[in-house]
Amino acid sequence: MAKWGMVIDLDTCTGCQACTTACAMENSRLPGENWQDVLFYHEGKYPNVQLKWLPRPCMHCENPSCVSVCPTRATYKDPEGGFVLIDWNRCIGCKYCQVACPYGVRFYTDEKAVVQPDIRTVFPSEEGRQWDPPWKGPQDDPRRGIGIQPHGVVSKCTFCYHKVSQAPTGVPDLDEDIPELKEYVPACVRVCAPKARFFGDLDHPESRVNKLIADHRGTRLKDETGNKPQVYYLSGGASAAVPSLRAVHQDKA
Amino acid sequence: MKLLETLINRRRFLKATGAVAGAGVVAGGAGVVPGLTTLSHARSPAPSADTTITKNICHQCPARCGIDVYTTGGRVHAIYGTSDHPISNGKLCPKGPLGAYILYDPDRFKGPMKRTNPNKGRDQDPGFVPISWNEALDMVADRLNGLREREESHRFALLYGRGWGASCAGLLGNFGKLYGSPNVAIGHSSMCSDGSIISKKAVDGIGGYNSYDYKNANMLLMFGAGFLEAFRPYNNNMQVWGYIRGVKVPKTRITAVDVHMNTTLAGSDRALLIKPGTDGALALAIAHVILVEGLWEKAFVGDFSDGVNRFIPGETVDPDSFEEKWVKGLVEWWNAELKDRSPRWAVQITTLYERDILATAREFGTTRPAIALYERGAHAHSNGIFNGMAIHTLNALVGSLYAKGGLAYQVGPSYGPLPVNADDYLDDWARTGGWKAQPRIDLKGHPDGYLLANNMMQEIGPNSLQGKPYKLDTIMFYLNNAIWTAPDVKAWEEALKELFVIETSPFPSETAMFADVILPDHTYLERLQDAPTYPFQGWPMTQLRVPAVKPLYDTKYFGDVLIELGKRIKGSMGEYYQALDNTENVIRHLAKGFESDPGDNGVNSFESWKEKGVWYKRVYPYRQIDGEFYEWDGQDHARLMSADEVRGALFKTASGKFEIRSGWLEAHADWIAAKTGRDPSRLMFPIWEEPSHPGGGDLYMVTPKVALHAEGRGANLPVAIANMQPTLGGRNTIYIEINPKTARARGIPDGSRVRISSDLGAIEGYCKYYEGVRPDTLVFPMEHGHWAHGRWAKGRKPGHSGEITVNQSDRITGQCSYYTTKVRIERA
């Protein structure tokens, strides 16, 4: 059985956020509630300033702290594929997982909408969910946190489970440039124009993701937590970078 | 309490979804909390059996990326790049996925409407009432027929923005010719990037946007343009970036020049934060170093007869000692200008460090192939013509024109002819009517206006208002919102109050608020529309939009609106449009050209074009190799071209060379000198001239295009709004970037509300401290400040820069100087 993982090459990531908007489209995300975010930082003094960014999906950890804290076992590690998913039928919206997640990639969206006016009032749901946009996709699987987010539950990146889980068995990588595989590739990976993202089977000895991790010193974010992410970053010191915070100046006039 | 609410909410949810799922899930009687009941009605992943994929072309920037539109159950729910499309190659930029939001925008117009409130203004409700298409088209046609009968047809103007192809904007020229108006149609290029087009025309005689062979270049020197934010084709630029920065050996070196630290500068090897309007000075200093250090491409440029370099700073050179090959006027330029333009000189102008200028020049001069590219940041100033010429001349100095890894010009597609020839349908008025003696409303090509420009859209509002050269009567807009995008928007609002305004956008806009009739277009996912490529790789290519769904509302494709109007014009013009029939007929005739010239992907008919979405041939006809020009002979670039052939196709100047001493400008030296006060002996060279900055303020204001600027609609798309300014912005806020030093000197705290003002007025917004912006410059994305664009756009800050941008244009190129007004900032 595959253990799916993602490799993000920070040397070629352009910070464009196509991953963010493709995910929003594919997963009917509310505006600004980005399962797949890109975080921007800057430091230094004019004219020598560093601007950098970090694309951040759910890490689909091998040892996820969100799973161990969930009181209803709503959030779980799928042994088939290694996805970390949420069963919306079990989730009680206590948000313990949000606190436990070291990466900030879980979303409770019943509060005030990020962008006003609230789009949920424009496309209200008749099914008791948060909204019902005309562009919602056909996939709908609440046991895995897929589809329109209901009220009172937490949601998160599913690694596009609805696509990836349908992939032919035994493939080492899901590469969008291979026409017969593109429909199984997570949205954020599929659209990535500079090809800064790769998706494949971390347990497959021949997978490109393993090769990249090995050859380009793949690193995991906050490895010290012991969560063991299945998302790896490659960084050779280009502008997109894992944030290394220098002292932050708190300038006030 | 919260938990209880949650449970109740969840109960409702389970009841409802259970009902959807059908059999035996939750009985869910009143008061029953269903708890952990298993729900399973997972559906198969897209594309399911009933999912259809149609080919289309993205509408949100000029690039024209091929997209696959996924439709299930009659609803569009996903958009991905088309895998076998040469621009998108299966990928998307962040705007690509927004198409469904545009299609289902709740603020769309639902059908044709007419105005009932005769008063116009920002605070006036137009009082639109629905009318039928027949009534709407008859109303407009009556008006156009009336103007023609009164011999005032020149008072009808049609303004267009993003024209796509032969079936929309391509029809406009014939409409103007048959109807009899010099103002049908006027494009928006002067408010776009004509400063680039015309400064190139001055030296190479072509005058177009370049195609670029980035993949084979080893150095890119970029002035403005926003390569990783906005420069088209953005999606493909990023694909190239991934290759030249991550895969290619050697890695392509990149120096980027701008006024603030953006993602392009951050990702480059060298970021140069230059003073606005001084890019030309940097280019001159680079050229100076290239000559002094003997780094120019001798096979293309030529050399001293004896091979000894005589370019010594500050010293003139005998022109006879140099044998020019494909350039003209190099030594004269050196003597008139360049000999004194050292890096040290440029330091005072640009505020850059001398070491950086020198390093950039040496890298550019020694790394082949190299490309120098520029767009509006560099040339949207009164000295734009010179800035552009100076930068483009760098390409000549390193021999990049038409070279592998260099730049060229775009070739058009093999379209078939239209079914009828407009020249056969000209009546007496069209042929010899009084309209022919009328100047264009924008005074383009007129000695009192802008003799050398291509278009002057920004002048139309003010000119009509003042009746100079005359007042318009009727004005029609296609994908254009000049009343908001032009500088000094107040003048436009006053002008449109006097005119009968026809708007064709599917969406509400500031133009619509002043419109007398709305003839709403389809959105792009509902259209059948052709779109030849914007300058890309040079080789010919054209795409097709295929409707993914039937039009949601009672809308009509603009091309068909035009044809239907034409049919209603009396006389032979009406007959022409009867014969043209409709846009599908037009597109079918265009596609006939592919029968004898099939594309590389086998497209040879209308049907195959519809299926693949694109026709292309990956061969560029010309190539310059080591200073000789070759034409494609069917197998290779092997047929040597004569100097005359080069003049006919590649350097369309009088000399047939790249004219650093511009013969075109020299031919108009008297007019230029009279209008600008420039020295007639120097105005034909790329020279340094201080830009003039109106507005009365002490800070520059630059408003770049950002990656989520979905042309014309970004301000009303919630997902775009939430991600509009990733570098600094909040989820719901765009900030004005201000250097902390600048802010502190004015007592402005980080994040506070500020007022930016010029002689024209003031706008407000929130500022954010940013060390990455020049202390003399304020930067914010051009996006918000709409007052009639839809519910999400309304009132969103910061206000629109156009409200405080002075209408000043480069007298030569006609380029609207968007980035040159100086403003003040204070706490609001």
Q: Which helix (H) or strand (E) holds B80?
A: strand B75-81
- Say if strands B66-72 and B51-57 run parallel, antiparallel, or are unpaired: antiparallel
Angstrom distance (rounded) from CA B384 to CA B376? 9
pLDDT of residue A241: 58
Domain spans in chain A, listed from the N-terminal domain onward: 4-234
Quick one: residue B499, left, alpha or beta (phi over 0 = left, psi -120 to 50 = alpha)? beta
When pLDDT is cut at 50, 70 and 90, the band that residue B47 belongs to is low
Architecture of B113-192+416-514+561-581 per CATH?
A: 3-Layer(aba) Sandwich (3.40)
CATH of A4-234, one of 3.30.70.20, 3.30.2130.10, 3.30.470.10, 3.40.50.2300: 3.30.70.20
Compute the count of residue pairs across chains A and B with CB atoms less than 8 Å apart: 289
Residues in B 29-58 with any Cβ partner in A closer than 8 A: 36-48, 51
Q: Tell me the chain B residues in contact with residue A119 when contact means C-beta distances shorter than 8 Å.
A: 718
Of the candidates B91, B722, B748, the beta carbon closest to that of A31 is on: B722
Q: Do A46 and B773 touch (CB under 8 A)?
A: yes
Mean pLDDT of A139-155: 96
| pLDDT at position B365 over 50 | yes
Of the candidates A93, A115, A133, the beta carbon closest to that of B6 is on: A93
Longest Cα–Cα distance of chain B, Å, equals: 101
Of the candidates A14, A17, A49, the beta carbon closest to that of B772 is on: A49
Closest alpha carbon within chain B to A95: B3
Q: Tell me the chain A residues in contact with residue B235 when contact means C-beta distances shorter than 8 Å.
A: 193
Nearest-Cα distance to chain A for B789, in Å, is 14
Q: Do B7 and A92 touch (CB under 8 A)?
A: yes
When pLDDT is cut at 50, 70 and 90, the band that residue B386 belongs to is very high
Angstrom distance (rounded) from CA B423 to CA B177? 9
Structure confidence by residue, pLDDT tens digits, A119-128? 999 999 988 8
pLDDT of residue B36: 31
The H-assigned helical ranges of B614-769 are: 643-649, 663-667, 669-676, 718-722, 740-745
Q: Tell me the chain B residues in contact with residue A126 when contact means C-beta distances shorter than 8 Å.
A: 16
Architecture of B699-827 per CATH?
A: Beta Barrel (2.40)
User: What would the DSSP string read from start to end of chain A?
Assistant: --BEEEEEETTT-----HHHHHHHHHTTPPTT--SSEEEEEEEEETTEEEEEEEEE-----SS-HHHHH-TTS-EEE-TTB--EEE-TTT-----HHHHH-TT--EEE--SS-SSSSPHHHHS--SSSBS---TT--S--BGGGTBSSPBTT-EEE--SSHHHHTTSPTT-SB--TTSGGGGGGS-HHHHHBTT--EEEEETT-TT-HHHHHHHHTT-B-TTGGGS---SEEEE-SS-SS------PPP----
| pLDDT at position A253 over 60 | no
Q: Do B273 and A251 touch (CB under 8 A)?
A: no
Mean pLDDT of A48-52: 94
Please give the residue that has the higher pLDDT: either A74 or B24: A74
Q: Do A114 and B771 touch (CB under 8 A)?
A: no
CB A145 within 8 A of CB A87: yes
Domain spans in chain B, listed from the N-terminal domain onward: 1-42, 50-104+522-555+585-618, 113-192+416-514+561-581, 210-409+656-676, 621-652, 699-827
Q: Do B42 and A17 touch (CB under 8 A)?
A: no
CATH code: domain B210-409+656-676 is 3.40.228.10
Closest alpha carbon within chain A to B92: A191
Longest Cα–Cα distance of chain A, Å, equals: 60
Closest alpha carbon within chain A to B238: A194
pLDDT of residue A247: 47
What mean pLDDT is reported for chain A? 93
Structure confidence by residue, pLDDT tens digits, B548-588? 999 999 999 999 999 999 999 999 999 999 999 999 999 99
Residues in B 224-283 with any Cβ partner in A closer than 8 A: 228, 234-236, 238-239, 241-243, 245-246, 261-263, 265-267, 273
Closest alpha carbon within chain A to B272: A47
Helix B194-204 to helix B384-397 angle, to the nearest 10 degrees? 50
Q: Do B101 and A195 touch (CB under 8 A)?
A: no
Is the peptide bond preceding residue B47 cis, with omega within 30 degrees of 0? yes
Nearest-Cα distance to chain B for A61, in Å, is 24
Beta strand extents in B224-301 (DSSP E only): 253-258, 270-273
Nearest-Cα distance to chain A for B795, in Å, is 11
pLDDT of residue A239: 54
ipTM higher than the 0.85 cut: yes
| Burial (CB count within 10 angstroms: exposed 0-12, middle 13-18, buried 19+), residue B677 | exposed
pLDDT of residue B54: 97
pLDDT of residue B45: 41
Q: Which helix (H) or strand (E) holds B543?
A: strand B541-545
Structure confidence by residue, pLDDT tens digits, B162-180? 999 999 999 999 999 999 9
Total residues found in chain A within this entry:
253
Structure confidence by residue, pLDDT tens digits, B609-649? 999 999 999 999 999 999 999 999 999 999 999 999 999 99
Q: Would you tell me how many other CB atoms lie within 10 Å of the CB of residue B763?
A: 25
Of the candidates B73, B97, B228, the beta carbon closest to that of A25 is on: B97
Angstrom distance (rounded) from CA B35 to CA B653? 80
What mean pLDDT is reported for chain B? 94
Q: Would you tell me how many other CB atoms lie within 10 Å of the CB of residue A79?
A: 9
Is the peptide bond preceding residue B469 cis, with omega within 30 degrees of 0? yes
Closest alpha carbon within chain A to B13: A128
pTM of structure = 0.94
CB B722 within 8 A of CB B734: no
Q: Do B44 and A52 touch (CB under 8 A)?
A: no
Query: Which of B275, A137, B747, B541 lies closest to A146, judged by CA?
Result: A137
CATH code: domain B50-104+522-555+585-618 is 3.30.200.210
Structure confidence by residue, pLDDT tens digits, B93-125? 999 999 999 999 999 999 999 999 999 999 999
Q: Tell me the chain A residues in contact with residue B35 when contact means C-beta distances shorter than 8 Å.
A: none
Angstrom distance (rounded) from CA A211 to CA A217? 10
pLDDT of residue B29: 33
Query: Which of B435, B440, B436, B496 lies closest to B468, judged by CA?
Result: B440
Q: Do B792 and A115 touch (CB under 8 A)?
A: yes
Q: What is the dihedral of CA A123, A126, A129, A135, to 10 degrees?
A: -40
Question: Which of B14, B92, B741 would best serve as a mutation to test chain A binding (most A beta carbons within 10 A)?
Answer: B92
Structure confidence by residue, pLDDT tens digits, B395-444? 999 999 999 999 999 999 999 999 999 999 999 999 999 999 999 999 99
β-sheet bridge partners, residue A49: A44
Interchain CB contact of B15 with A (< 8 Å): yes
Q: Do A135 and B77 touch (CB under 8 A)?
A: yes
Q: Do A253 and B39 touch (CB under 8 A)?
A: no
Interchain CB contact of B21 with A (< 8 Å): no
Euclidean distance between the first and final Cα of chain A, in Å? 58
Q: Do A17 and B104 touch (CB under 8 A)?
A: no
